[in-house]
């Protein structure tokens, strides 16, 4: 019996190569994010992550290694058996994806990249690239609103992310992204390897 988790995973991963000027990525049926250039992160990052996707009553966990430089953002993901599932590279040349043959062709890498950007990219970079919604800061993170209704919630629990001064997303620590429209939650535990 096929798990209902798989259709959601198809939405979150992507095709092998996207055009150099990457299209808008849907965050919900009426909201899109135009992916910002890799150099707009504003810092270099090397981090490892443990990501758990919750959808309905199921959970899927994978490990990731992130590398962000002004030239490119690279993510390598492995499954719970240590098999390399996906490698994506976002640069001025566009989005390049290498994927394991056992991954379904319909998985969308650009949605994974968009979720990562919503979690970690500077708000001032993301705001003008959102169409159909607004990004606001909350006491514990961020939220995406469409016509006053919250469609995505991003939380960074624990200090120093709560209270002034709000220092931005933690590259070492816990983050959570909840997409209310599509009914999934990502729990992300990151460890900074190199600042």
pLDDT along the chain (195 residues), means of 10: 42 43 82 94 92 82 92 92 89 89 68 92 95 92 95 81 50 90 90 76
What integer pLDDT is reported at residue 117 of this predicted model? 95
What integer pLDDT is reported at residue 6 of this predicted model? 40
What integer pLDDT is reported at residue 25 of this predicted model? 92
H or E stretch covering 173: strand 173-179
What integer pLDDT is reported at residue 133 of this predicted model? 97
Phi-psi region of 62 (alpha: psi -120 to 50; beta: other; left: phi over 0): beta
What integer pLDDT is reported at residue 22 of this predicted model? 52
H or E stretch covering 6: helix 5-12
Query: CA 19, CA 93: separation in Å to the nearest integer?
Result: 8
Own/partner contacts of 153-162, CB < 8 Å, gap of 24 or more, are 153/177, 153/178, 153/180, 154/118, 154/119, 154/178
What integer pLDDT is reported at residue 99 of this predicted model? 83
> Helix, strand, coil proportions of the chain in percent (round to 5)?
15, 45, 35
């Amino acid at each position: 019996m096929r798990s209902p988790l798989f259709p959601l995973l198809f939405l979150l991963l992507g095709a092998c190569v996207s055009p150099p000027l990457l299209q808008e990525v849907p965050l919900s049926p009426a909201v899109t994010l135009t992916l910002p250039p890799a150099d707009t992160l504003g810092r270099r990052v090397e981090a490892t992550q443990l990501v758990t996707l919750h959808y309905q009553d199921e959970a899927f966990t994978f490990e990731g290694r992130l590398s962000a430089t002004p030239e490119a953002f690279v993510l390598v993901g492995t499954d719970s058996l240590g098999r390399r599932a996906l490698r994506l590279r976002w640069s001025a040349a566009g989005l390049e994806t290498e994927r394991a043959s056992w991954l379904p062709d319909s998985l969308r890498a650009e949605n994974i990249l968009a979720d990562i950007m919503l979690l970690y990219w500077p708000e001032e970079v993301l705001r003008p690239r959102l169409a159909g919604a607004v990004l606001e800061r909350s006491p514990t993170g961020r939220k995406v609103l469409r016509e006053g209704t919250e469609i995505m919630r991003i939380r960074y629990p624990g200090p120093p992310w709560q209270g002034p001064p709000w220092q931005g997303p933690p590259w070492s620590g816990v983050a959570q992204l909840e997409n209310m429209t599509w009914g999934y939650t990502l729990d992300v535990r990151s460890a900074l390897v190199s600042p």
